[in-house]
């Protein structure tokens, strides 16, 4: 069917929004440990804007325009560091996917890599800084390794989401070197990074749907 990729993207965005709505309070509590406590509401505001912008587009719009529009709405509406990074990453994902409607798993993994590279460049963080990158980089590496060894996209995403979960959990032992949590870094010891945690929530939701 034409516009298949765009309709998949619409469905995944809605599911991500619903999953973040369930976790928003917990994400806010994590962000309140050493940050400003707005990560849950910021992510939810951004995802609501992304879903709203996607819903306002015509059915015929392709996945590139859909994700660029949704990503721009996320960046503009969410406020905060994570909103700017997620919005730009989503827009880059759209540009990298382009206007094809059929994708090989390696094409999807390459687009995810482009989005993650954009987020890393914009934020200037590195793995170990206790940011979303500590879930994102293991996710992206696992996804690429899986599809390179011939896995279908659904099972590759499940393995990659597990890598993100492990990466997010490991941030509990780290001291933040970026963002608002840095000045109160010691307080965050023993608590996972909010942005790494929400990254895992989103990719776990996507993996669950893609492998169903």
Q: How far is the CB of 84 from Mg ion (least distance, A)?
A: 11
180 or 187: CB nearest ligand ADP? 180
81 or 140: CB nearest ligand ADP? 81
Per-residue contact flags (x/-) with ligand ADP for residues 96 to 115, judged by CB under 6 A: --------------------
Handedness of CA 153, 158, 161, 163 (dihedral sign): negative
- Two structure tokens written together for 74: 């996320």
| Using rule CB under 5 A, residue 38 touches Mg ion | yes
Q: How far is the CB of 181 from Mg ion (least distance, A)?
A: 8
| Using rule CB under 6 A, residue 44 touches ligand ADP | no
86 or 103: CB nearest ligand ADP? 86
Q: How far is the CB of 31 from Mg ion (least distance, A)?
A: 4
Instruction: Name the burial class of residue 209, with classes exposed (0-12), middle (13-18) and buried (19+) by CB atoms within 10 angstroms of its CB.
Output: middle
Q: At what angle do helices 194-210 and 39-55 cross, to 10 degrees?
A: 40
| Using rule CB under 6 A, residue 89 touches ligand ADP | no
Point out which span in 3-11, 55-63, 91-99, 192-200 binds ligand ADP (CB under 6 A). Answer: 192-200
Residues composing the chain = 212
Distances in Å between the alpha carbon of 68 and those of 26, 126, 196? Answer: 29, 25, 23
Point out which span in 72-80, 96-104, 110-118, 162-170 binds Mg ion (CB under 5 A). Answer: 72-80
Q: Which residues, in sequence order, are CB contacts of 152 under 8 Å at separation 6+? A: 105
Number of H helices, E strands in the chain: 8, 0
Per-residue contact flags (x/-) with ligand ADP for residues 3 to 42, judged by CB under 6 A: ----------------------------x---xx-xx--x
Distances in Å between the alpha carbon of 179 and those of 5, 49, 203? Answer: 34, 23, 22
Binding site for ligand ADP (CB under 6 A): 31, 35-36, 38-39, 42, 80-82, 85, 123-125, 131-133, 178-180, 193-196
């Amino acid at each position: 069917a034409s516009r298949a990729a765009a309709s998949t993207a619409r469905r995944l965005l809605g599911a991500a929004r619903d999953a973040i709505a369930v976790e928003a309070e917990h994400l806010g509590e994590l962000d309140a440990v050493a940050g400003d406590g707005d990560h849950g509401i910021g992510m939810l505001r951004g995802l609501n804007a992304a879903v709203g912008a996607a819903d306002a587009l015509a059915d015929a719009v392709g996945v590139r325009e859909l994700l660029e529009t949704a990503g721009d709405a996320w960046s503009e509406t969410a406020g905060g560091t994570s909103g700017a990074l997620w919005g730009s990453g989503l827009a880059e994902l759209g540009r990298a996917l382009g206007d094809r409607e059929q994708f090989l798993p390696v094409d999807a993994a390459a687009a995810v890599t482009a989005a993650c590279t954009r987020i890393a460049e914009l934020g200037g963080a590195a793995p170990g800084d206790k940011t979303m990158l500590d879930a994102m980089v293991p996710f992206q590496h696992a996804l690429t390794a899986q599809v390179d060894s011939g896995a279908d996209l659904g099972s590759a995403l499940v393995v990659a989401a597990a890598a993100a979960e492990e990466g997010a959990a490991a941030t509990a032992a780290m001291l933040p070197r970026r963002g608002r949590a840095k000045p109160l870094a010691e307080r965050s010891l023993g608590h996972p990074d909010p942005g790494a945690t929400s990254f895992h929530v989103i990719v776990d939701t996507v993996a669950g749907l893609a492998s169903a």
